[in-house]
Structure 1
Amino acid sequence: MPHPPIPASRVATSQPSAPRALVLVAEDEPEIAEILSAYLDRNGLRSIRAADGRQALDLHLSLKPDLVLLDVGMPRLDGWQVLSEIRHRGETPVIMLTAMDQDMDKLTGLRIGADDYIVKPFNPAEVVARVNAVLRRSRPAGRDHGREVIRVGRLHADMESHEIRLCSPDGDQPLTLTLTEFRLLTHLMYAPRRVFSRGELLVACLPEGETLERTVDSHVSKLRKKLEAAGLEAVPASVRGVGYRLGDPS
């Protein structure tokens, strides 16, 4: 019998801090999405990726990203439809990405509620600069951000203190993880049902000097052994021929 969907929740405690902003990259071209995610991560931002418009809306609803980088030419639902629904839901900043350099397209995006508009081909460093500029505009000056805690099943991750605990009725058990293991586990926790390829995890979670996808397998194996020793089996879960997903941390 299949496991029910694993909810991921992000809660704020009373201790003030400034967690890294989460950017949803809605782009159906894997190479472009991977490059953008890498640049965002190296500039102190977190990212999650959607390959079509429907997935973008699902992730927007479940993860509540701080900003959306939205490609116009998306499958299932195009960028205009996604933007319209995001605006119906609230005021999440949205930067449109498109290969169409037409004034009418820019006007359409701005009319629906886009915060900025970037034409392909673009310099990824410029995209990151525009993202930071929009984030600064969207956050009131002097605003305090609560400490961010991700909760998925028995796993609780404190993003400020870089602490992960395995919770049970008998008490909480802290886990001793390396920085790379922490990044891998929390990256999977942000979208617990999604399968991430080794290439995605390599770019998002591993140091710049590590370039081989099989290195991801080594880090995941060590992470899994630590979780098994703490009483959590088969996490992260392997998806043959694809990569990894969180699994069931209940």
Structure 2
Amino acid sequence: MPWKVLIADDDPNVREIIRLYFRQQQIELVEAPDGASALSMLAEAKPDIVILDVMMPGLDGFETCREIMKRCEIPVIMLTAKNDEIDRVLGLELGADDYMTKPFSPRELVARIKAIFRRMQKGQAAIEADSPAQYEFDDLVIHVPRREVNVGSEKIDLRPKEFELLAFFAKSPGSVFTREQLLQQVWGYEFSGDMRTVDVHVKKLREKLSPCPHACIHTVWGVGYKFEVEACT
């Protein structure tokens, strides 16, 4: 299918390299020189995915990502000239789906984009396979087809990957999963991120489930995580 990608990067050489390669791949590219311009183009361009450079003048990539997450549900890839873990973690915590360190190959960038769309297409089918219409754990209710989570009368706002992670845990409460297993089962076997990705999403999920005193995601030290339905202490 033809994709439309919005890129925000203040380096015209980077945009040109990506533009030429995307043209070969029949991917439409919308270009913005900074974060503020990208935000102004977002509603009209209606891209399928956004690529954000971290180091931009004015509104940087992190602030732009934060604002995008307020406006819509759309995949985001962060580009960073640094390989610092703090940059990767912050981008993921803000809701980015992936990150790449400059310099990078345009071919790899396209591969990452394809991987994200594969995961999106498989995600709903995967969580619905052999799943009930909903899971109920005391006052925690997970509506699978509607992708909604409620604690009592309160609706919990989850990002798509957070929901898929919770739905996967809910299938097997009490079972321990390694980070590698979670990357394979929730993100997809082809996912090329690091183990920190799982930690960041678990942290965010714990925070959002805090209104529920009965459902906890426990850390099993040296192994991974497990979801249990019990009174939290």
TM-score normalised per structure 2: 0.51
Residue in 2 that maps onto 1:127: 109
Which residues of structure 2 form unaligned runs of 5+? 126-233
Cα distance in 1, alignment partners of residues 14 and 5 from structure 2: 15
- Provide the secondary structure at the position in 1 that maps to 2:96: coil
- Among 23, 33, 36, the alignment partner of 1:41 is 23
Conserved 8 A contact 1:72-1:78: yes
CA–CA distance in structure 1, aligned partners of residues 20 and 124 of structure 2: 29
Letter of the structure 1 residue corresponding to residue 17 of structure 2: I
CA distance in structure 2 between the partners assigned to 1:110 and 1:33 by the alignment: 23
For each residue in 1:75-114, what CA deviation from the matched residue of structure 2 results, as whole angstroms up to 9, or x when unmatched?
A: 2210001000111112110000010101111000000000
| Aligned mates of 1:136, 1:47 — CA distance in 2 | 20
Runs in 1 of length 4+ with deviation above 6 angstroms?
none
- Deviation of 1:138 after TM superposition, in Å, equals 2.6
Bigger relative contact order (CA 8 A; separation at least 6): 1
Q: How many Å apart are 1:67 and its aligned residue?
A: 0.3
Pair 1:83–1:125, CA change in 2 (3 A): same
C-alpha contact 2:30 2:45 (8 A) present in aligned 1: no
Q: Which structure is higher in helix share?
A: 2
- Report the number of matched residues: 125
The CA distance in 2 between the partners of 1:131 and 1:38, in whole Å, is 16
2:63 matches 1:71: no
CA distance in 2, matches of 1:120, 1:141: 29
- Find the aligned partners of 1:77 and 1:103 in 2 and give their Cα distance: 21
| Structure 1 equivalent of residue 203 of structure 2 | none
RMSD: 1.8
Q: How far does residue 140 in structure 1 lie from its aligned partner after superposition?
A: 5.8
Distance in 2, matches of 1:40 and 1:137, equals 21
Matched, 1:23 2:14: no
In the alignment, is residue 55 of structure 1 matched against residue 48 of structure 2? Answer: no
Residue 141 (structure 1) shift:
7.6
Q: CA separation in 1, counterparts of 2:43 and 2:77?
A: 17
Equivalent runs, 1:170-181 vs 2, <5 Å: none
Task: Indicate the residue corresponding to 1:96 in structure 2.
Answer: 78
